[in-house]
């Protein structure tokens, strides 16, 4: 059990339903006002569960490892996915934090920071020299967590949040980076 009362372990396909629940609740709470509501509505628990079952059950196109934070009663409090190498860079030596989500009732307890610290420790142990991630512009809560862990903007921007329904306006994201 970590300092913040959660246990960190690798995700398995059996976690797909719980991962989907956390993923959707964190999108709804965290992205309201930042992301087109149609995009939030399109990301249903059923769709996310199918995605997670696929991602965890089959070899992904990139090596992506997901670590989950499990609370004392067994509930999934959050997760962090790491892609090695980063999916959007033509750089075999830079890793990527592909996802960091915590169940909204558990925000502010240090779970997100603990997941991120464990991911960075793991990458350091594997001798990855740098890590990037994308954050939606205006997502101040997430940026504070990343900046505390050493991430800074590297100047890159994009509009991309996966597959969007037709007519949906995608938000700007900026890339953050930390050298390990
Ligand atoms: C961003 C996110 C992952 C952060 O998770 P979290 O578990 O709330 O993060 P932490 O608890 O580690 O840090 C949040 C705040 O709690 C504070 N905190 C951390 N540990 C604490 C503790 N033990 N006691 C009290 N406060 C604490 C932190 O200092 C931080 O304060 P700040 O917002 O003033 O900087 C979460 O809010 C989330 O899922 N958001 C929606 C999805 C999202 O934006 N993901 C990132 C995509 S790029």
For residue 43 and ligand 1, the question of a CB distance below 6 A is answered with no
- For residue 120, is pLDDT > 70? yes
Mean pLDDT, the chain, rounded, equals: 94
The pLDDT value recorded for residue 61 is 76
Run of H or E residues at 16: helix 16-31
How close is the Cα of 90 to the center of ligand 1, in Å? 30
How close is the Cα of 100 to the center of ligand 1, in Å? 10
Radius of gyration, alpha carbons of the chain:
15
The pLDDT value recorded for residue 168 is 87
Helices 140-148 and 111-125 pack at an angle, to 10 degrees, of 40
Ligand 1: which atom is nearest the Cα of residue 114? Answer: 12
For residue 11 and ligand 1, the question of a CB distance below 6 A is answered with no
- For residue 71, is pLDDT > 70? yes
For residue 20 and ligand 1, the question of a CB distance below 6 A is answered with no
Question: Are the C-beta atoms of residues 82 and 64 closer than 8 Å to each other?
Answer: yes
* Cα(30)–Cα(83) distance, integer angstroms: 22
* pTM score, whole prediction: 0.96
Domains, the chain, ordered by start: 6-179 (3.40.630.30)
The pLDDT value recorded for residue 1 is 64
The pLDDT value recorded for residue 60 is 74
- For residue 59, is pLDDT > 90? no
């Amino acid at each position: 059990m970590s300092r913040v009362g959660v246990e960190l372990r690798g995700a398995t396909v059996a976690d797909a339903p719980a991962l989907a629940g956390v993923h959707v609740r964190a999108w709804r709470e965290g992205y309201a006002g930042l992301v087109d509501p149609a995009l939030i509505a399109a990301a249903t628990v059923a769709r996310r569960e199918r995605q997670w079952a696929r991602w965890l059950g089959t070899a992904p196109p990139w090596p992506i490892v997901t670590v989950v934070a499990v609370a004392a009663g067994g509930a999934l409090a959050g997760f962090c996915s790491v892609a090695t190498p980063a999916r959007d860079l033509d750089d075999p030596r830079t890793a990527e934090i592909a996802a960091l989500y915590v169940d909204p009732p558990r925000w502010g307890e240090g779970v997100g920071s603990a997941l991120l610290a464990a991911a960075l420790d793991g990458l350091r142990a594997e001798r990855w020299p740098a890590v990037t991630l994308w954050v939606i512009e205006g997502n101040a809560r997430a940026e504070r967590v990343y900046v505390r862990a050493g991430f800074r903007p590297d100047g890159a921007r994009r509009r991309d949040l996966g597959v969007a329904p037709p007519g949906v306006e995608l938000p700007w994201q900026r890339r953050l980076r930390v050298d390990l």
